[in-house]
């Protein structure tokens, strides 16, 4: 069974634009341990959010608290920004 192009696309939680998942930052909360990973490989399972590689999308997602809501976790904005440090383009 082949994977269609739709399955390879994801929606940015910051701007709402649909892009190929290879062009996005993936943030995953592991379901068993609750650990947060940025750009994990496909072997890590859990709740995930996707963001564009630009600062405005990341800021919008934090401002509206979307990452915390989708991942269902209480991670602080400072800790998440530390994880994302250097992951965006100006």
User: In 10 A of CB 20, how many CB atoms?
Assistant: 10
Q: Could you tell me the pTM of the whole model?
A: 0.78
pLDDT at 12 over 90: yes
Q: Assign 5 a pLDDT band (cuts: 50, 70, 90).
A: low
The DSSP symbol for 21 reads: G
pLDDT greater than 50 at residue 1: no
Alpha carbons 62 and 57: distance in angstroms, whole number: 9
What distance lies between CA 17 and its chain's CA centroid?
13
Most confident of the ranges 37-46, 48-57, 78-87? 48-57
Q: What does the mean pLDDT of the chain come to? A: 81
What is the pLDDT averaged over residues 50-68?
Answer: 88
């Amino acid at each position: 069974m082949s994977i269609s192009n739709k399955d390879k696309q994801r929606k940015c939680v910051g701007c709402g634009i649909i892009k190929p998942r290879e062009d996005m930052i993936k943030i995953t909360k592991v379901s068993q341990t609750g650990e947060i990973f940025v750009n994990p490989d496909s072997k890590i399972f859990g709740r995930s959010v996707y963001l564009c590689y630009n600062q405005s999308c990341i800021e919008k997602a934090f401002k509206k608290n979307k990452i915390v809501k989708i991942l269902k976790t209480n991670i602080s904005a400072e800790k998440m920004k530390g994880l994302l440090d250097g992951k965006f383009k100006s």
